[in-house]
Amino acid sequence: MAQPEIEQFKVSTRHFNRIMIAIDDDDFISSRFAFDYACTVAKMYSVPLAIASVMETGDLNVFQSLDPETLAAHRQDVANDLNAYVEKAKAFGILDVVPLIGEGKPGKVIVDEMVPQFKPDLIVVGSETHKGARHQTIGSVAAFVTRYAPCTVIVVRDPSSSPKPTDEPSARQ
């Protein structure tokens, strides 16, 4: 006999009602697969999709971040990219697309500002595939969001970026 709560359990169909995709403006490759998946689910269930992009202010060095022109140009680039993603989602057939733009530490801005605002029940993030890294690693934003978000999180990996057989996993711990 199994544990009583397992014996009595009946599987229920579950789906998501509000989806948020976190775009990494500097990593199109890992964002792309995550974006495909987020759009697929939002379209399938006809639910709102928020597209979140955070301008990582730590990206700019001190000189640049003091230069208002450089900062304004960088802000405009991030906004243009976000608008392009919004148009792609609409062209795919998603009716309710919500752009969210922020500045700061991406994981923290997503969890502390954007999630309370949009209230997603699913967050989609890419895994940040670092070219040349020996081991595939989860990015710091994906790790932060997976750990601290109050809802379900899916970390989408490019199916073609699987670790090579020479990456011996047993050496890891």
Binding residues vs a copy of itself (CB under 8 A): 1-3, 5-7, 9-15, 28, 32-33, 35-37, 39-40, 43, 77, 80-81, 83-85, 88-89, 91-92, 108, 111-112, 121, 135-138, 142-143, 146-157, 159, 162-163, 169-170, 172-173
- Render 3-36 in DSSP notation, one character per residue: -HHHHH--------SSEEEEE-TT-HHHHHHHHH
Alpha helices in the chain (DSSP H): 4-8, 28-45, 62-66, 68-92, 106-109, 115-118, 140-148
Nearest distance, CB of residue 82 and a copy of itself, angstroms: 8
Which of residues 67 and 163 has its CB atom nearest to a copy of itself in the complex? 163
Nearest distance, CB of residue 117 and a copy of itself, angstroms: 13
Which of residues 58 and 150 has its CB atom nearest to a copy of itself in the complex? 150
Nearest 5 degrees, angle CA 114-CA 116-CA 118? 65
The three-state secondary structure class of 124 is strand
Which of residues 103 and 148 has its CB atom nearest to a copy of itself in the complex? 148
Nearest distance, CB of residue 132 and a copy of itself, angstroms: 17
Task: Identify the bridge partners of residue 54 per DSSP, sorted by sequence position.
Answer: 102
Nearest distance, CB of residue 138 and a copy of itself, angstroms: 5
Which of residues 66 and 151 has its CB atom nearest to a copy of itself in the complex? 151
Burial-class residue 63 by CB neighbours within 10 Å (0-12, 13-18, 19+).
exposed
